[in-house]
Amino acid sequence: MSRYITSKMAIVGFMGGLANDLTNTLATVPQSEEQKRAIWEQQAIKRMGEPEDVTGSVLFLTNDDASFMTGQAIVVDGGQYRIG
């Protein structure tokens, strides 16, 4: 179990890092437009993510529709994950 948990947490941490890199927030302000474009051109949806892009997933996870879910990492990254 420890190997599985370690690998799963690595993915969760990696996705958190991508969220900082790929979502149009204060964390991405220092990046040049060229740096931002180089990142999102590699993903399926060709634009920077906006904080509002995760709203639907958050609402779902806080709703009774997700009441039987446990231990899941929902990836909302515009298709970046498929590349890595």
Is it the case that residue 84 has pLDDT exceeding 70?
no
Q: What is the pTM of this model?
A: 0.56
pLDDT tens, 8-36?
Answer: 888 878 877 776 666 777 777 788 889 88
Residue 84 lies in a domain: no
Residue 23 lies in a domain: yes
Q: Measured between alpha carbons, how far is 3 from 54 in angstroms, rounded to an integer?
A: 29
Please report the pLDDT score of residue 64 as a whole number. 95
Task: Tell me which residues are annotated as active site.
Answer: 4
Q: Measured between alpha carbons, how far is 1 from 13 in angstroms, rounded to an integer?
A: 18
Residue 73 lies in a domain: no
Give the residue among 56, 45, 55 at the shortest CA–CA distance from 22: 45
Residue 57 lies in a domain: yes
* Total domains present in the chain: 1
Range of the structural domain that residue 32 is part of: 2-66
Is it the case that residue 73 has pLDDT exceeding 70?
yes
pLDDT tens, 42-59?
Answer: 888 888 888 889 899 989
Using an 8 Å Cβ cutoff, are 52 and 25 in contact?
no
Residue 7 lies in a domain: yes
Residue 83 lies in a domain: no
Residue 74 lies in a domain: no
